[in-house]
Every structure is written in structure tokens, then in C-alpha cells.
Structure 1
């Protein structure tokens, strides 16, 4: 029996009881992924903790503590704050359009004093919370097929358009796919899903030809034929494939990857760290890390399934969908199965902003587990 099953409802709010309700095995798997990332950064830095490995571990430690703190937050508080967080994220995205900082041709950052951040990261959490709150308050029939579906469509479309205009196609795609996943989990009619998938497929060619920026269009064409410009736009994918293939089954050995150690592989500590792992630890190492990711996704979905509230189920499932999309898109990109869109491998890649977003999301997932018996009022949604 669980701790909650052995305690009276009033006693479940005690901090010591809540700490006992956290899924610590889930936390261990997160630590293993982050630890694997630190080991790779130590290797590619020439067996040095600087400049990446130590920063990666210290950031993860702080983010892990933040996850524990957020797990203590009552699920009703998350529900109450859902729309304000979404609205705040939208205001920040508009602020980026007006006064954002431009770097490398993209206007994605806001600077507040010494701090610089990307508001699109806030929207990754905001869209999950807002959609979970919306679907918690409508009936299963309206979630399946009704004019009410225009509301979540607008909630997803507005931030996607703003983020795509920055331009940040990778993040825009993540927000859109996460929102779509929540709509499906909420019970969206398969007829609507079929129409949307068909419409999206038909819109891809004109979108690539007439809407994308030139450099984005070039990435798509490079993805289709990377050998056409091996020393230019196809360089990233070509080097990544070389690193992947040269690792074989067991890899070249820790610290012995030529593509990464000799700096042939670009962005070796961020977007292409999975290729670095493949070169040094081979197919076996890749499968091991992917198994860790699969375990995290499975456990998070399990947490979603045991929540007594529709809001909790959709919120935990939405965070899990975002995490899974990170893994899927980065893995496909590194293997040359998708265009390069700048989506990192979560917790494995170097980068504080994405790590913070992911761990805040997992703080929400842990909160769903800790408060799984909590009833969030006002819900009409059916079970997932």
C-alpha cells in the first residue's frame, strides 16, 4: 500500500508524507541521463570538467532540487496558475517581437538586466497547463468534436505563429506537436485527426516554397540531399553520419572519438552529442541511453494514468509528450532522418534553458504523482 493509502486525507499535506510520495526511481533515471551527458562532455573537452561537464552537473543539481520543490505544489495551485502562466508567456513572446535581442539573425531573446532568456521556453510549459485546464472544464463530447475545438486550436496557433516568426522553427514545431498530442489524448475525434493530418501534409510543399526563410528552405533541401554540399550546408549531417557509422557496435572507446575529439563534428556538446555518444560507445551505448529515455517516458505516462483528476492526467501526459518529442526529433536529426532544427537531446545535451524547462515539467509530473488523489474542481473531462 502507498503512503497516501495509509494516511488520512489531512495528513497527506504534511511535507514528510509528500516527500515519500515522490517517485525517486524516476529521479534516479533522470540522474543517469544527465550523468551520461556529463561523461560525454568530460570526454570531448579533453578529459576536463571545463567548460561543459561541471556546469552541466551543477545546473542539473539545482534543477533537480527545483523539481522536488515543485512536486510539493498542490495540483489545484497548478490548475489555478495555468491560464496566468500561458498569458504571461504570450506577453513575453509579444515583447520579443517589439524589443527582443537579435542573435545570429534570430530575434528570440529578452534581456532583463544581466539575465537573458527565451520566452518560448516558458510557452512549452504554459501550453501544457493551459490546454490541460481547458479540457478539464469541458465534456468528453465537446472534446471529441464541437465548435469548442476552435479555442484550443487558437491557443496553440497563437504562440506557434509568434515563435515561428522569430524565427525558431524547432520550438514552434515542438509547441504545435505537444498541443496536438494533448488534443488527441483529450479524446479528439479520429475524423478531425485525419482531416488535420491530411491538411498538414498538403500544406508542407507550399510552406517550404513560399513561407520558410531561405536558410530554413536550404536545411530542408540539404536533408533531402546532404551530399550535394558536403562542405557547406550538408556538413553537419555528413559529419554526424560519419560519427554514427564509425562507432560500430561497441564504439571506439571513451575519449577516442576522432570526429568529436578533432572537432570535425559541429555542436558536439549540444545538438549532436548523441552522435558523439555513438562514436565512442557504439550501437550498444546508444541503445542503453535510449532505454533510459524509454523508461522515463513509461514512468511519466504511468504517473499520468493514476491521477484522479483529468487536469493531472493531461498535464503529466503533455509534459511527457514534449520530452518524447525532444528525443524523437533530435535522434532523427542526428541520424539524417529529419532536417537540422536545433532541438537538443534533453538532459544529455549541454544547455541550461532547455534543462530548466524539462525539469520544471517533471516537477509538474511529480506533483501529479504526489497529489494523485486530489480532486481538481470544475472538471467534466473523461478518462484518457
Structure 2
């Protein structure tokens, strides 16, 4: 008999009991990574809290409080709002295509300007896709999850936002949505024959998509990834400088604030996409490995939380959020090391950026709510109610 079973039902709903259910090791690891990010932003700014480090730490503090507050929210509320959040995000993505509504910057229309602030619907959709898929699979049978005509539903849940986000264009976010959806379908029990049947033609179609389906700048990024040395001072500059920063750090690094690539402005986007290269240069292999170990700890604890949930919705939702986070780390790490094209995916909690941090911490609020309310019983079915 579990400890929870020995607790009277009324006591399980007490705030003090819920706070005691929070995994503080998980929260501590998040604080470590965000603090390292703040320190690195201080360093790459030339030893100044402005313009990045102070804002980064303030945002993390606010987002940490938000995560803890969301962990108190009943899993039934997350469950009931799943399709609503997804539908709202989809409407906002579609609204971007309306002339005069979508806000364009740097050649991409990804935002909606509200006057006092701008929102990026694709970030809301990252949470929306996870919630909608978790809600769907909660009521699906094992046969439906493995292989049946009903697979059209999860495919549409993932495919519609993927196409809308790719059209903005925002290939990095579209990849995250598509890969997160694929990972959740796999974890739900999708037949490996279906996976193979889709993967093979997709692999064959990639070269044709690169040559005829991508925008010119996206195609240049892919071709540069294949041969960055062909234009080291042009399209290959980002990857070349990142590799120099990674290699020059050696075992222990050059020291805090002493990275020549970042301090002398050779490393582009040093506060966002390529901050991990700055970490490697200043703290070497040991520092890089330590950060990656912290990320691994966060992912493993989150997956453990997912496995403990008594509801399929909780398991799928927590695993989906964890998949998105792991993909952030994997894609950015591969990009910085020259193992993947530059697609504008930041290193979560380490890079500067309020929108991504907010999305990640809301997702972790869902993960922690899954832990706090892991014994919650949820109704079956796919309906909105």
C-alpha cells in the first residue's frame, strides 16, 4: 500500500501536502542551468549585467514561481483544457496569415502584434500539441494507437500546426512540433512498420524538399552545413566560428570571461543560439559535460515522473513535454557542433530569450502537476467535456 493510500482524501488536497510532493531536485537542476546561463550572459556582455544577464535571471525567477504555481493546478483542469488550448493556438497560427494581423520581422511573419506586446503562437502550439495528443491517446485503445484508420487524428493534430509554422517560415519550431508529435505517437505504441513505412519515403523526399521546397536562405543553411569550409567568411561563418570556440576551450577552458571568440565578437549570436559554444570555450570539455549532465538529469527525472502517473494523460503529457525539451538540447547541441544545419533553436534556460523560457517552464509546470496529482483519476473519451 502506497503512502498516498494511507493519507485521508481531504489531506491530499491541502496546499502543504501538494508542496511536499514537488520534486525539489528537479527545480534545483533548473536553477543550476539558468544560473549558468545568467553567468555566461554576464560574461559575453563583457562583464556586464546589461543587456542580457539581469533580464535573464529576472525572467527565470518569475517563470520558476509560475512553474510552481502551475504544479498546484489539478490534472483534471489540464485535461479539460487540452483541446481548448490547442484550438486557440491553431486559430492564432491561422490568424498570422491574415494581412494586417501578422507581424513581420527579419523576413518571417511569426508574431501577432497586440500593441503593448507581441505574441508568438507557435510557442503556445508547442504546449497545445502535447496536451491535445495526450488527451487523444488517453481515450484511445491500444489497437488505435498501434495501427488503425484513427491514426488520421493524431496526424492531423501534428500536421496542421507543422504546415502553418513551416510556412511562416520557422523551420526550427516546425521541426520541434513535428518531432515531438512523432515521439509521442511512438511512445503511445505506434507500430514500427508504420514508422519504417513513413521514414523511408521521407528520407527519399528530403533532397527534393531542400532543392525545391525551401526558401533560399534555408537551402543555403543546409548546403553550408554539408560544406562550411566552402564559404568560411560568408554562409559558413557561424558554424566555422562555433567549431573554433568549441575546440579552443580544451579540457578546462580559457577561464570565465576570457573566451576570445565571444569577447572579441567573432562568435555570432553568442547570447542565443551559440551560447553553448561560449560555455565550451570558457569552461572546456569539463564545463560542457557538466551542463549536459544537468540536462540529462532534468530529462531523466521528468521521464521518471511521467512513468509514475496513474493516468495515461499524465504519462503522455509529461513525456511529451520532456521530448520537446530533449529535442531543444539535442538540436542546439548538434547545430553548435556542426552536426546539424543552423535552424535557430536555442539551448533552453541557457540561451537568452523570454518566450522560449516561458514555454519551457509552463511545460515543466505540467510535468510537476503530473507528479503532484499522479493519483488523479481522469475520465475516458475524446470529447471536449
User: Which category describes the TM-score, using the shorter chain as reference length?
Assistant: over 0.9
Does structure 1 residue 116 correspond to structure 2 residue 108? no
Counterpart pick for 1:187 among 177, 189, 199: 189
State how far apart, in whole Å, the 2-side matches of 1:119 and 1:231 are: 35
Give ranges in structure 2 of 5+ residues lacking alignment.
none
The alpha-carbon deviation at position 52 of structure 1 amounts to 0.8
Does structure 1 residue 237 correspond to structure 2 residue 239? yes
DSSP-derived class of the 2:97 partner: helix
What is residue 25 of structure 1 aligned with on the other side? 25
What is residue 300 of structure 1 aligned with on the other side? 302
DSSP-derived class of the 1:107 partner: strand
DSSP-derived class of the 1:108 partner: strand
What is residue 327 of structure 1 aligned with on the other side? 329
Q: TM-score, normalised by structure 1?
A: 0.97
What is residue 84 of structure 2 aligned with on the other side? 84
What is residue 339 of structure 2 aligned with on the other side? 337
What is residue 60 of structure 2 aligned with on the other side? 60
Between the two proteins, the alignment pairs up a number of residues equal to 380
State how far apart, in whole Å, the 1-side matches of 2:12 and 2:49 are: 42
DSSP-derived class of the 1:294 partner: helix
State how far apart, in whole Å, the 1-side matches of 2:6 and 2:351 are: 41
- Which segments of structure 1 move beyond 2 Å, counting only runs of 4 or more? 1-6
DSSP-derived class of the 1:110 partner: strand
DSSP-derived class of the 1:342 partner: coil
1:36–1:348 CA contact under 8 A, matched in 2: yes
Mapping of residues 219-238 of structure 1, within 5 Å = 219-238=221-240
- Worse overlay, 191-200 or 119-128: 191-200
Q: TM-score, normalised by structure 2?
A: 0.97
What is residue 104 of structure 1 aligned with on the other side? 106
1:310–1:379 CA contact under 8 A, matched in 2: no
1:278–1:285 CA contact under 8 A, matched in 2: yes
Does structure 1 residue 270 correspond to structure 2 residue 272? yes
1:274–1:331 CA contact under 8 A, matched in 2: yes
Mapping of residues 140-289 of structure 1, within 5 Å = 140-289=142-291
Does structure 1 residue 47 correspond to structure 2 residue 47? yes
State how far apart, in whole Å, the 2-side matches of 1:3 and 1:63 are: 31
The alpha-carbon deviation at position 113 of structure 1 amounts to 2.1
DSSP-derived class of the 2:111 partner: strand
- Worse overlay, 41-50 or 283-292: 41-50
What is residue 370 of structure 2 aligned with on the other side? 368
DSSP-derived class of the 1:263 partner: coil
What is residue 37 of structure 1 aligned with on the other side? 37
What is residue 311 of structure 2 aligned with on the other side? 309
The alpha-carbon deviation at position 197 of structure 1 amounts to 1.3
Deviation digits for residues 247-287 of structure 1, max 9, x if unmatched? Answer: 00110111100000011100001000000000000001000
State how far apart, in whole Å, the 1-side matches of 2:360 and 2:323 are: 11
Alignment CA distance shift 1:2-1:45 (3 Å) = farther
State how far apart, in whole Å, the 2-side matches of 1:347 and 1:3 are: 34
The alpha-carbon deviation at position 243 of structure 1 amounts to 0.3
Give ranges in structure 1 of 5+ residues lacking alignment.
none
